[in-house]
């Protein structure tokens, strides 16, 4: 049997039997826009069957599998909202301030590099990943 796996965020068109692996996707939203999928999460004995128009919020920090039961289109949306106590608009302002400061200090790399490294270490500890940046930035522009 041919194996097809996908990793990522956004819209995915899946042929029957194709599989999507979500690692540590807690909070991620899986929207089924067409077809139907079977979803199972590591550590949970329940299986979910979600049809067109349905959605499922990933609860597991482990592996979640989404398998197309028929030709299907799903949308994966990262969940940044639970990470930010001050709200996405405030985080958007902080992001824009950091970008402005970084751009202004480009000629002084000796001062900006340690600050950016420290910021990266703090955010890695918060559970932030690269998918959240787009959601925060889009909220700032709303």
CATH code for position 61:
2.60.120.10
The DSSP result for the chain, as a single string, is ----EE--SEEEEE-TT-EEEEES-TT-EEEEEESEEEEEETT---EEEEETT-EEE---SSEEEEEESSSEEEEEE---GGG-TT-HHHHHHHHHHHHHHHHHTTT-HHHHHHHHHHHHHHHHHHT--TTHHHHHHHHHT-
Query: How many structural domains does the chain have?
Result: 2
Q: Are 12 and 30 found together in one domain?
A: yes
Are 12 and 73 contained in the same domain?
yes
| Domain final position from 36, 53, 77 | 77
Confidence of residue 133 (pLDDT cuts 50, 70, 90): very low
Q: Give the pLDDT band (50/70/90) at residue 80.
A: low
Q: Which residues of 108-125 are buried (b: 16+ CB within 10 A; e: fewer)?
A: eeeebeeeeeeeeeeeee
Whether residue 13 is found in the same domain as residue 73: yes
Average pLDDT value for residue range 101-128: 76
48 with 72, same domain: the answer is yes
Are 85 and 36 in the same domain? no
Asked if residue 37 has pLDDT above 90, the reply is yes
| Stretch 76-94: mean pLDDT | 69
Mean pLDDT of 58-79: 88
- What's the predicted TM-score (pTM) here? 0.55
Last residue of a domain, one of 29, 49, 77: 77
Instruction: Check whether residue 66 and residue 89 sit in a common domain.
Output: no
Residue ranges making up the domain that contains 11: 5-77
Last residue of some domain: 77, 99, 127?
77
> According to the per-residue pLDDT averaged within each range, which of 6-10, 20-24, 45-49 is highest?
45-49
Question: What integer is the mean pLDDT of 4-29?
Answer: 76
């Amino acid at each position: 049997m041919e194996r097809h796996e996908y990793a990522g965020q956004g819209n995915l068109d899946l042929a029957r039997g194709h599989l999507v692996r979500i690692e540590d996707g807690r909070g991620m939203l899986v929207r089924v826009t067409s077809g139907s999928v079977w979803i199972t999460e590591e550590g949970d004995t329940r299986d979910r069957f979600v049809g067109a128009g349905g959605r499922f919020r990933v609860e597991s920090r482990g592996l979640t599998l989404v398998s197309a039961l028929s030709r299907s289109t799903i949308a994966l949306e990262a969940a940044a909202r639970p990470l930010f106590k001050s709200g996405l608009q405030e985080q958007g302002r902080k992001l824009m301030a950091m970008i402005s400061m970084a751009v202004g200090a480009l000629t002084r790399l000796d001062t900006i590099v340690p600050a950016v490294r420290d910021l990266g270490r703090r955010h890695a500890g918060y559970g932030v990943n690269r998918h959240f940046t787009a959601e925060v930035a889009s909220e700032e522009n709303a």
